[in-house]
Chain A
Amino acid sequence: MGDGLCPTSACSSQVRPELETTGPLPQSVNMEPQKQMSLNDNTIIRLVEVRKSFAGNEVLKGVSLDVEAGKTTIIVGQSGQGKSVLLKHILGLVRPDSGQVIVDGVDVSRARGKKLKEVRTKFGVLFQGAALLDSLDVLENVALPLRQRTKLKDAEIRRRVIEKLQLVGMADQLDKYPAQLSGGMKKRVGLARALQLEPQIVLFDEPTTGLDPVKVKDMYKLFFETQKLLKYTAVIVSHDIPKIFNLSDMVAVMHDGIILAHCSYEDIQRSENDVVKTLINDTMGSIYSSDQVEQ
């Protein structure tokens, strides 16, 4: 299944997806058999040969990736390798020049209007800078999905907002505005907002960027606790290598617009590919295990 970049049997690469084995597909997907990837029924996100250029600069050069439901997949790679662009493709914010992005059976690269909106209701997103609406206070930011997508009464909205803010330890900051919060606090509020409607999938774009080591650990702890409680599928994009590997079920290494390797973190540590080695093995000293974080 691998192409030689990653030596272990569990490790796959999407550099040449036409070499991958066939498997069942989501209902709405219609692909040629030779372009199908290994897939089990649990796959919730699938990218097939996704290519994207901006002003002649090819950022994604044929990315293929499967994300299993209920699991944590971490996409790592150095800055500027196209990781955030990949996330935007999954969300349907950017459309690929070619290829497919399938989320729960719907091709978001072609979906528009209501259909795209329906797919997006499955997502919660924690953006790199939290992307809180700076004209709204914490309460209103976290209440926004409820106000816009439900018909709940004010009292119930407030109760649910406080419940989610308690989960991230921010329930005492209701009336603060984003400009009055630190980077870590913003991310906590952003996470509370992302989890407000208890989505199936939560995407984290560089969740620890700009945080000090203590806050990084807190963030991971928070991630563990919320995932345990809400059982969402997590996709984490990060260059925080390899501190977050032990949080994951699968790790995808992205380099120069392609996925170099996609396997468990134990397998990826044994990779003999030079780029993967450079990215991971040279900096292996500080892995956070889930046990450590839980402590």
Chain B
Amino acid sequence: MLRVIERLGRETIFKVEEAGRMGVFLLMAVAGIFLPPVNISAMVKQIHIIGSMSLSVIVFTSVFTGAVLGLQGYHTLSQFGSVGMLGSAVALSLLRELGPVLSALMVTGRAGSAICAEIGIMRISEQIDALECMAVDPYRFLVAPKVVACLISVPILNFVFIVVGIFGGWLAGVKLLGVNEGAYFAGMSKSIEWADINMAIIKSLCFGLLIVWICAAKGFFVHLDRKGGFGAEGVSRATTMAVVMTSVSILVWDYLITSVML
């Protein structure tokens, strides 16, 4: 019994410590954005790595997401004789939920894992220690450009996902299934409101921050992993954990934001 209590206590202390560490990490990373010297070129480079290089996977997945929405929507709506609402259904689904969530999940898989692995390798090969020894703030030098890049790239990728997804829905609904093109776009413009666009922006900003926060912190603190955070195995475990935690957090936060904003 004592052992169980002891274990519970140890686990609680570890979790509280970890939460504190993560909180301080976020504060330091955000503060690092504003600390001089501001490294614009590093931020641009990260926008290229996190944003531009994710573009192809975003376009590819969004075309098929939109197409499958068009296909499913057509068959459902045709049962009620409301095929004219297909454009609205596709656009609203993408704008409110699928665009922010799926684009964030794609960025997590492609760029989040890379952020975690890069910082994790830097930690285990003493590169972060070297930065600290040179009195270079690793939060400002390493993490802050990634935070800025994610906060800029994820919302843009989200809207790319939505626009291309609508095009995918148009391909399936209008070109393959013969829905009237005018009805597809007219319904869309009538049903979308500014609140929907605001929700998409807020969600993608939150998801962008979650991605860089969790992934960068998991890499940054890889050496504190209780299962042994050293070597390739430690980095691999941290990367897996980062992607899983970020994906779950995105879905949980999606629900919370939706429930507040609807």
Contact = CB atoms under 8 A, between A and B. Distances in A.
Nearest to A196: B134
A169 interface: no
B37 A93 contact: no
A88 interface: yes
Nearest to A133: B127
Interface residues of B, number: 17
B136 interface: yes
B258 interface: no
Interface in A116-161: 117-118, 120-121, 123, 125, 127-129, 131-135, 144-145, 148-149
Contact of A93 (B127, B129, B136): B129
A144 B138 CA distance: 12
A112 to B, nearest CB: 12
Residue among B37, B130, B132 facing the most chain A CB atoms (10 A cut-off) = B130
Interface string B128-164: 0111111111000100000000000000000000000
Contacts of B134: 120, 144-145, 148-149, 193
Contact of B126 (A131, A149, A193): A131
A128 B126 CA distance: 9
B125 interface: yes
A132 B135 CA distance: 15
Nearest to B137: A117
A88 B121 CA distance: 19
A258 interface: no
A127 B136 contact: no
Nearest to B226: A55
Interface of B: 37, 118, 121-122, 125-127, 129-137, 141
Interface of A: 88, 91, 93, 117-118, 120-121, 123, 125, 127-129, 131-135, 144-145, 148-149, 193
